[in-house]
């Protein structure tokens, strides 16, 4: 008997097959709630995967939340439930009522919903995202040709709800997506960042999780507007030549009763064994990467953000927690793999599949790993047993850098290698140097208050640190507020302390960071050889006694190179001599002693000519008056 002809939105045998294999990369177009026309009737086609449910019905505003009004039909072999409900309006709230195998009833938000009720409400909302208006073709066309390894990448990490707020309003005062887009585009262009990385976009119930405990993987959070508003924001940023990266959390999900946890009354999305399926420290559930439908859910979700919403990259959170079965667990709390080891073989395979598909389908997009261990080949090719990421956060550099910067300058000479060590492995992966939100919360202090000393010394220390970071090999990321020396730790409950910019030292810190970012963006020496030893050269990595570092960044053609000299003590060196590779002129292009950065403003020569005089193991050198905590950047 011939199979009945399916309507375009209906789920057929091929959908079941691909989903069951884990290869239905656009399954989000079939599962979830989709506005359709069925004959002469318009309405919504609902579809949900609940393999161990006894029955499922859809309940919502359109049927008075009646459990019996709209029963769903089970489709085999995977246990996908479907139904068409005529007359359902845009933004109507709904949930799935699932009868579990024990006969209990649970009400679940739609895992594939594109919109959700504003918390503390937990219902999903019907919305049509098939007709978004995009005018960013020029950006998207260029992205196909874009090669991150040879381009500048300086990322401004932002939490929308606490970057700026409308003060004095009765509600929380959040900027909506459109307001935020206009404000952040202006600011990012002025400061010189190339990308924004947005925290907490996928729907989440608890503000204090910062968006890292997700219940709506396919829904931009309703805190800041509709999915259409979210698309408008991406489009606007692209038209202003700003890339957009989202934080993405495939490592774990919360136990909230309306979310993915025990979705059909059994561990549907998580590992069934609690020793594999739960994070004891975080109180969250771990995705079952061995289950094809779960892998498909996550891979299609990554593609959803990049293809449906034109997002330029995903920063994948907590990668180490996925790779290691014993991550955050004591003996007896975890189960070894089939070889007796602590590697999660299913998660490794998942990453290879994920990155191959996402980057294969979307040239120029970025997949960024927040991976905190020495796992090899995180950014290596999948064909060579790498994980296939584009970039990796350099957590080792971040740890060494912040520990060094916190030291009293007197003791820095004994820890000199903490600032040079990262260059010994800088080309083992494609790295981003990060000073992220994680470094300015939980009593870790703001970046400024990590600095030793009092008053002006703190600001001078931080300026030297930022210059060293910008000159060092690797892409860059800085969390919001640290560019103007935010005093307080970050809190998601309030906006940044923008009023500080009325004070001279904060304004001058912002001037310094702005000029460093523009210097980075306009000088190829700073980025085009980030993955090559030829791009970075120490002049003197061993001046521990004086705690001074000098190094060169080389462009490919060596036409325009940069020499950095950074002094990390309060001792001025009135005749600091630095060795140089050629008997050329060296033009001073940035000087931390400039008045606009909070320095003395002392007049200095703009050009220094190298002479034949041995220094730093080189035949040529020149002398420069290097102030306390001074930074000088020369072009040659």
Report the SS3 class of residue 97.
strand
3-state helix, strand, coil in the chain (%, to 5): 30, 25, 45
The bridge status of strand 105-108 relative to strand 93-99 is antiparallel
Looking from the CA of 213 toward its CB, the CA atoms found within 13 Å total 17
Written as six digits, the tokens of 80 are: 């996908």
SS (H, E, C) 62-97: HHCCCCCCCECEEECCCCEEEEEEECCCCCCEEEEE
Rounded CA-CA distance 412/547 in Å is: 7
Distances (CA, A) of 54 to 6, 31, 51, 102, 265: 25, 19, 9, 9, 10
317 is annotated as an active-site residue: yes
Q: Kindly name the residue from 136, 270, 278, 370 that is annotated as catalytic.
A: 370
Identify whether the C-beta of residue 285 lies closer than 8 Å to the C-beta of residue 346. Answer: no
Report the SS3 class of residue 276.
helix
Q: Kindly name the residue from 117, 157, 197, 317 that is annotated as catalytic.
A: 317
| Cross-strand partners of 475 | 432
Written as six digits, the tokens of 101 are: 């195998």
The residue among 208, 219, 209, 255 whose CA lies nearest residue 93 is 219
Residue with tokens 């359902």: 88
- Cβ neighbors of 371 (< 8 A, separation 6 or more) are 319, 320, 323, 378, 392, 393, 395
370 is annotated as an active-site residue: yes
Rounded CA-CA distance 125/186 in Å is: 32
If phi > 0 it is left, if psi is from -120 to 50 it is alpha, else beta; for residue 318 that is left
Q: How many residues does the chain have?
A: 636
The bridge status of strand 585-591 relative to strand 631-635 is antiparallel
- Cβ neighbors of 95 (< 8 A, separation 6 or more) are 58, 59, 60, 107, 108, 109, 110, 122, 123, 124, 258
* Burial class (CB within 10 angstroms; exposed 0-12, middle 13-18, buried 19+) of 612: exposed
Rounded CA-CA distance 375/112 in Å is: 32
Q: Where are the beta strands (DSSP E) in 102-210?
A: 105-108, 124-125, 154-159, 195-199, 202-203
Provide the 10 A C-beta neighbour count for residue 215. 25
Q: Which residues are catalytic?
A: 317, 370
């Amino acid at each position: 008997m011939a199979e009945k002809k399916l309507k375009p939105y209906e789920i057929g045998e091929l959908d079941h097959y691909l989903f069951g294999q884990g290869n239905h990369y656009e399954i989000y177009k079939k599962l979830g709630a989709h506005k359709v026309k069925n004959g002469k009737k318009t309405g919504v086609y609902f579809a949900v995967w609940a393999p161990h449910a006894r029955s499922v019905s859809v309940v919502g505003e359109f049927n008075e939340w009646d459990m019996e009004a709209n029963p769903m039909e089970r489709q085999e072999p995977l246990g996908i439930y479907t139904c068409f409900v005529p007359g359902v309006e845009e933004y109507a709230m709904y949930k799935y009522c699932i009868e579990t195998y024990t006969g209990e009833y649970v009400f679940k938000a739609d895992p594939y919903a594109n919109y959700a009720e504003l918390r503390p409400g937990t219902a999903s909302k019907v919305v049509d995202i098939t007709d978004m208006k995009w005018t960013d073709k020029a950006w998207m066309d260029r992205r196909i040709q874009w090669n991150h390894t040879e381009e500048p990448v300086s990322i401004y990490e932002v939490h929308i709800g606490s970057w700026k707020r409308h003060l004095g309003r009765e509600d929380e005062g959040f900027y909506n997506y459109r307001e935020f887009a206009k404000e952040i585009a202006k600011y990012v262009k002025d400061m010189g960042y190339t990308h924004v990385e947005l925290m907490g976009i996928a729907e989440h119930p608890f503000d204090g999780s910062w968006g890292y405990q997700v219940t709506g993987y396919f829904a931009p959070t309703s805190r800041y507007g509709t999915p259409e508003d979210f698309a408008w924001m991406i489009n606007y940023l692209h038209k202003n030549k700003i890339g957009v990266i989202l934080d993405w959390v495939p490592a774990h999900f919360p136990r909230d009763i309306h979310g993915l946890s025990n979705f059909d009354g059994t561990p549907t999305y998580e590992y069934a064994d609690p020793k594999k399926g739960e994070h004891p420290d975080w109180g969250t559930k771990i995705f079952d990467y061995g289950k094809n439908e779960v892998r498909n859910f996550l891979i299609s979700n990554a593609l959803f953000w990049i293809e449906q919403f034109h997002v330029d990259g995903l920063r994948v959170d907590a990668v180490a927690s996925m790779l290691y079965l014993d991550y955050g667990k004591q003996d007896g709390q975890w189960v070894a793999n089939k070889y007796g080891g602590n590697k999660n073989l299913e998660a490794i395979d998942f990453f290879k599949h994920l990155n191959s598909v996402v980057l294969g389908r979307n040239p120029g997009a970025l997949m960024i790993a927040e991976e905190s261990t020495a796992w090899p080949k995180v950014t290596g090719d999948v064909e060579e047993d790498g994980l296939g990421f584009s970039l990796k956060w350099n957590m080792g550099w971040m740890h060494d850098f912040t520990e060094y910067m916190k030291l009293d300058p007197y003791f820095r000479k004994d820890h000199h290698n903490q600032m040079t060590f990262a260059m010994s492995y800088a080309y083992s992966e494609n790295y981003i140097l990060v000073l992220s939100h994680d470094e300015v919360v939980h009593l870790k202090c703001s970046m400024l208050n990590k600095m030793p000393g009092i008053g002006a010394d703190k600001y001078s220390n931080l300026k030297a640190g930022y210059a060293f970071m910008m000159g060092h090999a690797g892409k860059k990321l800085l969390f919001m507020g640290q560019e103007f020396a935010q005093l307080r730790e970050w809190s998601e409950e309030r906006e940044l302390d923008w009023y500080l910019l009325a004070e001279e030292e904060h304004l001058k810190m912002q001037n310094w960071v702005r000029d460093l970012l523009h210097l980075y963006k306009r000088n190829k020496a700073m980025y085009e050889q980030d993955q090559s030893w030829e791009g970075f050269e120490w002049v003197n990595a061993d001046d521990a006694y004086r705690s001074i570092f000098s190094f060169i960044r080389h462009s490919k053609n060596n036409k325009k190179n940069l020499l950095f000299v950074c002094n990390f003590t309060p001792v001025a060196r009135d005749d600091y001599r630095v060795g140089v590779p050629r008997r050329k002129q060296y033009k001073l292009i940035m000087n931390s002693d400039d008045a606009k950065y909070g320095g003395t403003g002392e007049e200095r020569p703009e050009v220094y000519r190298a002479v034949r005089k041995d220094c730093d193991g080189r035949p040529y050198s020149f002398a420069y008056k290097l102030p306390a905590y001074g930074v000088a950047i020369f072009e040659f």
